[in-house]
Amino acid sequence: MKWIFAAWAIILIVLGLICWMQYKILHQQERHEGKKTEKKDEIWPYFMPWVKQLKLEQRLGKYIQVLQRDHGILFGFQEAVLQTRLFLAKMLGIVWFVHVLLALMAFSAGGDASIFLLLLMFTVLIPVVGVRQIQQQLKVRKQKILMELPKLLNKIALLIGAGETLHRSMIKAAEGEAAQDMSHPLYKEWNRMVQQLRNHYPFQQAMEEFNRRCAVQEVSLFTNTILLHFKRGGEEFATALRGLSQQLWESRKAVAKTMGEEASSMLVFPMVIIFLVVLIITAAPAVMSVQF
């Protein structure tokens, strides 16, 4: 049995080397043609040839469409296809490393058949965990947007109340230390929209693209309210902004409550570990004295 694992490890290593050589050749060709290539500070792009050879994008079908949508929200829709392929390559790479490692361990352990079950389990679990991580990133991104959106709306409402036009208010809302944080998903997309407005981009189209990039229901409500009332202006527009602001603050409270509950639940496991450690420290002398 152990020789089967040894043969499997050798086959995987040879296939991995061939895949890496194919990627280097393909990478050099793309650089020569002036095409955009993947980052070289990661090892996962080296498994890109397997994504094409296994035809994963065609075989997985609707799952790939969901992944492309999620990666488009996280990295931009222009990068959706490339980021999805990198994700598939990463999953294949991790599965490859795990298979090689477990096959070598099984060989050294004399061909333990239980490791075969581990191979099957990790082959299924690794992609599932990868997809869960993407979903978690989307959840955190949405929470960040919902936490900052009411502040942004209040700033716009105050500027409009002070006599500024909507365009000027939106541009001024992008000023300040917090709004210049390009790592924040809301301010990143907001500053991009403001730059479009400064370049005389159509207002309605800029707002619709901002809504599509954020992909959050509350942002959709925010942009629809502005698009419905910005031409009318006056007291009706100010009333709509105040009502929307109150609604968004309620959503922010709900998000903050959820984040607090999640943080408290994450502390349960460390507290249990600390309790067990304290229990062992306090109980060990008594147990040892009884034995002696």
pLDDT digits (tens, 9 = 90+) for 191-224: 899 888 888 889 889 999 999 999 898 899 889 8
Q: Which candidate, 131, 145, 147, 133, places its Cα nearest to that of 213?
A: 145
Question: pLDDT at position 66, please?
Answer: 92
Q: Would you say the pTM of this structure is higher than 0.75?
A: yes
- Other C-beta atoms within 10 Å of 238: how many? 14
Tokens found for residue 70:
């999620």
| Environment class of 251 (CB within 10 Å of its CB; exposed 0-12, middle 13-18, buried 19+) | middle
| Secondary structure element (H or E) that encloses residue 150, with its range | helix 114-161
Taking residues 98-104, what's their average pLDDT? 87
Confidence tier at 268 by pLDDT (50, 70, 90): confident
Report whether pLDDT(95) > 60.
Answer: yes
pLDDT given for residue 135 in this prediction? 93
